[in-house]
Amino acid sequence: MKNLSFLVAMTALCAALLSHAADPAIGSTEIAKWKGNSKACFMIMFDDSWPSHYQVAVPELVKRKMTATFYINPGKGEYKAKKSEWEGEKAVWKSGMAYGNHTMSHDGMQNLKDAEWEIQECNKIILDLIPGKNPQLISWGRPGVKDWNISKEETKALLEKNYLIDRPTFDNHGVVYHLKTADQMFALADKAIKDGGMEYIIAHGVERGPDMNWGYQDFWAWKQDQFKAVLDGLAERRDRGDLWITDHISYHKYDTERQKGKAEVLGADNSKIRLKLSSQANPELYDSPLTLRTVVPKTWTKCKVQQKDKSSTIDVKDGIAQFDALPGNDEIVLTAG
């Protein structure tokens, strides 16, 4: 009987020790793979500055609190005819959308001098229009045109000179052209969620409804009912924490900073946790906050996060404080909220 009692006591002690050993140390911090600790990343892109972008696409995106990247051609007829929609008081970018460089005219490249104007002038318009750093990273989407009379090396050099980041390929991701059903688009999103990766779709026009009887539809017009259904399905996945829906440059910055980033614990006890977040990415160009997840004392239900002159108080969930911080030299301090 004594032996049995001894065995029971030892088993309980071992279980307690193993349980304690399995608990991560206070202050242990990881950089979430995707912003907000979403399972995956998803991007929506629109090409060619079509009228249906500001008529249909932007209002529906705004309704669902989504963003997208619009690849503009400021020298193209449709853009010039409605320039105020892209550059005016109620411009597309002011609704939280991003602009990408799709060349000035969407008319190809005849030679290197022509290419320099097509790319640099489009960049200049974006930089002059939208407040921010100069230089800064801008998304690049090569247009589908016949003439491209410069080499791969010359193209690459122009992109690097103008801080342009090449977006993922159009292949197998074009709405209407490749992707003809909502289920095909959801399959891309669900693949990203399953793999913990990134996926995207690239659209051109969006169908105008009968209330906008222009007598024609834009190029490769995405049926409006399907467009809305796809946005709704993506929003559902986002709202349950599966997708971070963002623009191309925000994705690129986060992914690059995370891969080159490191979170270090400078000190941790039951009253305070001190962290340092660094990244080898160029801070002048890669300046997006990263999402951190830090183990805090079990007694904490709220947590105050301080980095330089910025502070916030957040809820602690399952012993984890999740917050955004900027890589750099400024120490991050966590205390009970």
pTM of the model: 0.92
Per CATH, the number for 38-253 is: 3.20.20.370
State mean pLDDT over 185-195: 99
The CATH code for residues 260-336 is: 2.60.40
Contact between 216 and 48 under an 8 Å Cβ cutoff? The reply is: no
Mean pLDDT, range 20-49, rounded to an integer: 93
CA 180 to chain centre: 24
> How many other CB atoms are found less than 10 A from the CB of residue 177?
14
Q: Judge whether 171 and 200 are in contact, CB under 8 Å.
A: no
Q: 297-318 pLDDT, tens per residue?
A: 999 999 999 999 999 999 999 9
Residue of 98, 173, 92, 105 lying closest to 143 (CA atoms): 105
Look at residue 7 and tell me whether its pLDDT is greater than 50: no
Tokens standing for residue 300: 């904490």
User: Tens of pLDDT along 223-239?
Assistant: 999 999 999 999 999 99
Q: What is the mean pLDDT of residues 37-41?
A: 99
Report the alpha-carbon angle 97-35-143, nearest 5. Answer: 40
**153-165 as b/e, with b when 16 or more CB fall inside 10 Å?**
eebeebbeebbbb
Distance CA 193, CA 29 (A): 23
State how far the Cα of 222 lies from the Cα of 61, in Å rounded to an integer: 14
The predicted-structure confidence for 319-334, as pLDDT tens digits, reads as follows 999 999 999 999 999 9
Using 50, 70 and 90 to split pLDDT, how confident is the model at 23? confident
Cα(148)–Cα(112) distance, integer angstroms: 10
- Omega of the bond prior to 135 within 30 degrees of 0, cis? yes
pLDDT digits (tens, 9 = 90+) for 104-149: 999 999 999 999 999 999 999 999 999 999 999 999 999 999 999 9
| Residue 213, pLDDT score | 87
Domain range list for the chain:
38-253, 260-336
pLDDT band at 265 (very low <50, low <70, confident <90, very high): very high
Give the three-class secondary structure for 320.
strand
pLDDT tier, 22 (very low <50, low <70, confident <90, very high otherwise): low
What is the SS3 assignment for 220?
Answer: coil
Task: Give residue-wise pLDDT tens across range 242-264.
Answer: 999 999 999 999 999 999 999 99
The Cα 70–Cα 100 span in angstroms is: 6
| pLDDT reported for residue 173 | 99
Distance CA 52, CA 85 (A): 11
Confidence of residue 3 (pLDDT cuts 50, 70, 90): low
- Residues 6 or more apart whose CB falls under 8 angstroms from that of 333 comprise 272, 273, 274, 275, 305, 306, 307
53 CB burial (10 A radius; 0-12, 13-18, 19+)? buried
Q: Which residue do the tokens 């009970």 mark?
A: 336
Average pLDDT over every residue of 289-300 = 98
3-class secondary structure, 302 = strand
Cα 66 to Cα 89, 130, 131, 191: the distances in Å are 20, 19, 20, 20
